[in-house]
Structure 1
Amino acid sequence: MTKTSEPDPTPVPAPDWTVRGIDRDEFPSVARVVGEALLASDSPQGRTERLRPLMDAHGYDRFLVAVDGDEVAGSVNSFRFEMTMPGGPRPVAGVSGVGVWPTHRRKGVLSALMRRQLRDLRDRGESLAALWASEGGIYGRFGYGAASMEAELTVARPHARLVPDAPRDPALNLRLHYVDEVRDRVVEVFRKLAPTQLTRFQRADVWWDRVLADTPEARGSFGGLKVALVSSADGPQGYALYRTRAEYDQAGWHSELRVHELVAGTPAARVALYDHVFNRDLVAKVVVENTAVDDPLWNLLADRQRISAVPTTGLWMRLVDVPAALAERPYAVPVEAVVEVADRYAPWNAGRWRIKADEVGADVELTDEAPDLSLDVSHLGAAFLGQHTLSARVAAGVATEHTLGAAARLDAALRVAHAPVCGVIF
């Protein structure tokens, strides 16, 4: 049974900004602000036309704007995703469309928007929010924690050899297609496998339009988008979306094959896809984007030291409702602890919470007992996916351990079997 705290009675100073929702006709003003904040190269009109299908599909009821008179000074949006969290798929608010007009920066616009959004998400019954950050220094103060890492892996062709015992199934059939020929089968594979891969979200058609876009802008200096599809007698088992770029000089071929997404339902299907991309003629190097930090390639490549990895921060997680978020996920080992949480922007989360958890879930209740651990809500968000630890925050001095070993015990309970990978910036 989960008990939530009452809102903090301490009054919060009213912001100078009017924060409200929008309708469809106001979206061009929002697109103008977000594009300028992110230094977008397209025109406000072009940006509106590009994003309109996405917004029409999701609706405008989750947009918030801060207005200065009749002028939109800032905006924030969230998509309601079905995203795989520890324990399985659940609703997650995918925060996006964040921007402040340049002349209104550092005046409290974003703070007013984020505070209102958190309240709205809680009122909707959504306990978790996630986002991709354009700058890493922005969102920690709003309670978001950097919770996952993804990596781009590069392997030079002479070293792209798999281990001898890599599982191969001669019954599998691999065929190369252009994307418009097999879109339905790609979608089928992903729909089945997304619930098994941490932080994947089910993609509506408008998201597949973005992932599978094959416009000149999407291609850049590369060729058309191709699909390597591997199937068995039971149907499609996996796919790799990739492009190639041909380069040649007097020293020979320097061509690149870039994998945008590789999804496989079985080890043998994954090996078939890696065998294909590593053995394309004339290719000098293969780049695999958007991989989990524990991608199987690390254990499949015969010489793992030949992998050049470029890690990047992935999702930032925010516990909108601390007791609900902690209660709804399973734990690797039983644990019991009192955690004191500070939360400036969602005061209903602030307090001491007794967590009694096991492999099914957790009971989370307010308590007056002495805390075993004190931390900001952002550190709980960073540890929620099991990839980063609370112990590291204690070691850094940004969280305080009052009971020796409390952080390590919670880390062991929060552990997950495989690292998260989202793969799509929203």
Structure 2
Amino acid sequence: MWAGRTLDSLVCVQDELRIRNLTAGDTDGFRACLDVAFHETTTDASLRRWWQLLDLDRTIVVLDGDTIVATSGAFPQRLSVPGGELASAGVTVVTVLPTHRRRGILTRMMARLFEQAAAAGEPLAGLWAAEGGIYGRFGYGVATQVATLELDGGSPPPPRSQGADFTLELLPLDGAGPLLDPLWERVRAQRAGVPARTEQWWSGNVLSDLEDEREGAHETRLVVARDAAGAAQGYALYRARDAEPATTVEVLELIAPDTEAEATLWGYFRQIDLVGRVKATGRPVDDPLKFRFDDFEAAHVADVNDALWLRLLDLPAAVAGRAWAAPLDLVLDVTDRRLPANAGSWRLEASAQGDGRCSPTDRAPDLALDVAALGAAYLGGVSPVRLADAGRIAELTPGALARLDVALHTPRAPWTPEDF
């Protein structure tokens, strides 16, 4: 994958620090930087896997002499947004060694990332934050969350609609990407916040099952739900973990745009022998599983965590790129310290047909907010009213918050089922 690549010209960060593209010769230094920053030990197999997924043109390192002291990168992505999708920079492998904090390195790397995203025509950037306090100052806001659901094993399956007729099939992971990707794409059409997957991402990440990445669990298995005509309508990836008094099944991914296929897959996990608990991570916060039971406590939410942090890089393109749920005409006073082109007063208009646009205006603002709050609300997962209650949005015209809230609404909560 390295053939024909050239380095960016070296740019001075501060005194002896330099920033440049990742190269084939950086393997050991790259791994050492990630392991120190994330408090982990990356095996050779894991490093090879990630090495094949990284985009060399979008991955950079910062060097102090010959030592890598910071890293960052981005995957070119297509992120589902209400009514469609937009190009997005999937920010990844962001590290700064503790010996080199407070030297402006992360600020410089983010500036480079924003420049590259602009050149690639990406109006959005998204990331999963290892530390929540880092990215707000760069204009990222928490736009999606994920839940961990738990239910007992060895009990009757949840009810499903009458007339549903599905068969279940266990399949090998190898080569399953083309079968599963259409289901993933249908879910992307139902929910905002879901990145598209390339063939390489399916084979090298989703369906990769390295033993040293299972954290002590058994191998990953794939079960597919097929309808009466034999067409795949849902799938789940899962693995078993030894536990006392009985095995725990960990559902890594359950994707079923057909609700009856989804119920069938949950029923599968409820009926596996010798299982004491089923634990599903990365679920949407409005997952309907709880309401499939007469006893709402049969499935419970064990945890909710922040998922995708979203950054609006090009405000007009982001507004035009999503569908709006109601007509709208108001003015936003936007603060953006990192990208001044986004800052100022913008007239936000949405038609009854869902088309949106924004343009600079001299009209008095109805709402005042920073770009991080706008990123949090953009996918419809965080209400502007909630952000105003938290002091992140100021309502200058009575009723403006409610109008924006209605226009941003989506039938289902946005969802980001995987990190990167």
Determine if the TM-score, normalized by the shorter chain, exceeds 0.5.
yes
Kindly provide the amino acid, as one letter, of the partner of residue 110 in structure 2. M
Query: Hey, what's the Cα distance between the residues in 2 that align with 1:169 and 1:227?
Result: 25
* Paired residues for 1:82-161 under 5 Å: 82-157=78-153, 161=157
Q: CA deviation at 1:32?
A: 3.0
Alignment correspondent of 1:318: 311
Name the CA distance, whole Å, in 1 between partners of 2:364 and 2:200: 49
Task: Choose the corresponding residue for 2:212, options 211, 217, 231.
Answer: 217
Residues 320-368 of structure 1, C-alpha deviations (whole Å, 9 max, x = no match): 0112111211111111111011111111111110101134321211112
1-structure distance, mates of 2:407, 2:152: 39
CA apart distance, 1:147: 0.7
2:169 to 171, 175, 179: 175
Q: Which residue of 2 aligns with 1:30?
A: 30
What residue number does 2:340 align with? 347
- Aligned residue type for 1:306: A
Q: Report if aligned partners of 1:133, 1:139 keep a CA contact under 8 Å in 2.
A: yes
Matching residue of 2:75: 79
| C-alpha distance in 1 between matches for 2:61 and 2:241 | 42
**Alpha-carbon distance between aligned partners in 2 of 1:119 and 1:15, rounded to the nearest angstrom:** 16
Mapped partners of 1:206, 1:168: distance in 2: 39
3-state DSSP of counterpart to 1:61: helix
- Cα offset for 1:125? 1.8
Matches for 1:376-387 after TM superposition, within 5 Å? 376-387=370-381
Q: Distance in 2 between the 1:223 and 1:306 partners?
A: 26
TM-superposed deviation, 1:40: 2.0
Letter of the 1:25 partner, please give it: G
Structure 1 residue 96: deviation in Å? 0.6
Partner residue in 2 for 1:284: 276
The 5-angstrom pairing of residues 178-193 of structure 1 reads 178-180=172-174, 182=176, 184-193=178-187
Residues in 2 aligned to 1:126 and 1:183: alpha-carbon distance in whole angstroms: 26
Q: Shift in Å at residue 294 of structure 1?
A: 0.9
1:36-70 Cα offsets, whole Å, 9 max, x none, are 21122236x66643421112xxx311123334444
Report the Cα distance in structure 1 between the residues aligned to 2:142 and 2:300, rounded to whole angstroms: 23
CA distance in 2, matches of 1:306, 1:172: 23
Aligned to 1:6: none
Match of 2:300 in 1: 308
AA aligned to 2:208 is A
Partner of 2:222: 227
Give the C-alpha shift of residue 422 in structure 1: 1.9
Residue 169 of structure 1, CA deviation:
4.0
Question: Cα distance, 1:246 vs. partner?
Answer: 4.5
What is the CA–CA distance in structure 2 between the aligned matches of 1:356 and 1:183, rounded to whole Å? Answer: 40
Per-residue CA deviations over 1:195-246 (Å, capped at 9, x if unaligned) read 4332222222332232223332233333222222111215111111111235
Quote the Cα distance in structure 2 between the aligned partners of 1:90 and 1:107.
Answer: 34
Contact persistence 1:173–1:231 (CA under 8 A): yes
2:360 pairs with 1:366: yes
Inter-CA distance 98–386: structure 2 relative to 1 (3 Å threshold): same
Q: Letter of the 1:36 partner, please give it.
A: V
RMSD value, Cα: 2.3
Asked if 1:271 is matched to 2:270, the reply is: no
Partner amino acid, structure 1, of 2:350: A
Residue correspondences, number: 403
Does the C-alpha gap of structure 1 residues 354 and 258 become closer, same or farther in structure 2, counting only changes over 3 Å?
Answer: same
Measured against aligned partners, the alpha-carbon deviations of 1:5-24 in whole angstroms (never above 9, x if no partner) come to: xxxxxxxxx96354443444
Confirm or deny: 8 A CA contact 2:49 2:205 kept in the other structure.
Answer: no
Kept in 1, the 8 Å contact 2:154–2:275? The answer is no
Could you tell me whether the CA contact under 8 Å between 2:85 and 2:322 is conserved in 1? no
Tell me whether 1:411 sits opposite 2:410 in the alignment.
Answer: no
Q: Does 1:335 align with 2:328?
A: yes
Q: Deviations over 1:260-300 (max 9, x none)?
A: 11111312211111111111122121111211011121221
Counterpart of 2:129 in structure 1: which amino acid? A
| 1:200 partner SS | coil
Q: CA deviation at 1:28?
A: 4.3
Match among 44, 60, 65 for residue 64 of structure 1: 60
Residue of structure 2 equivalent to 1:394: 388
Residue identity matched to 1:357? A
Deviation at 1:108, TM superposition (A): 1.1
- Return the offset for 1:78: 0.8
Pick closer, same or farther for the CA change 1:158–1:30 going to 2, 3 Å.
closer
Shift of 1:373: 0.8
Counterparts in 2 of 1:181 and 1:326: CA distance versus 1, 3 Å: closer
State the AA in 2 paired with 1:242: Y
Q: Quick one: structure 1 residues 190 and 328, their matched pair in 2 at CA, closer, same or farther if it must change by over 3 Å? A: closer
> What is aligned with 1:357?
350
Does structure 1 conserve the Cα–Cα contact (< 8 Å) formed by 2:31 and 2:42?
no
Deviates more, 1:17-26 or 1:309-318: 17-26
Cα distance in 2 for residues equivalent to 1:76 and 1:41? 18
Decide whether the 8 Å contact of 2:71 with 2:96 is kept in 1. yes
Gaps of 5+ in 2: 1-11
1:307 Cα deviation after fit: 2.5
Q: Secondary structure at the match of 2:56?
A: coil
Provide closer, same or farther for how the CA distance between residues 284 and 47 of structure 1 changes in structure 2, counting only shifts above 3 A: closer
Consecutive unaligned residues in structure 1, runs of 5 or more: 1-13
Change in 2 beyond 3 A, CA 1:363/1:219? closer
Q: Evaluate the alpha carbon distance shift between residue 384 and residue 40 of structure 1 in structure 2; reply closer, same or farther with a 3 A threshold.
A: same
Structure 1 contact 118–320 (Cα < 8 Å) conserved: yes
The verdict on how the C-alpha distance between 1:374 and 1:273 changes in structure 2, with shifts beyond 3 A counting, is same
Query: CA separation in 1, counterparts of 2:179 and 2:162?
Result: 22
Whole-angstrom CA distance in 1 between matches of 2:96 and 2:167: 51
Query: What are the superposed Cα offsets for residues 116-162 of structure 1, whole Å, 9 maximum, x if unpaired?
Result: 22133123221001100001100000000011110110012377652
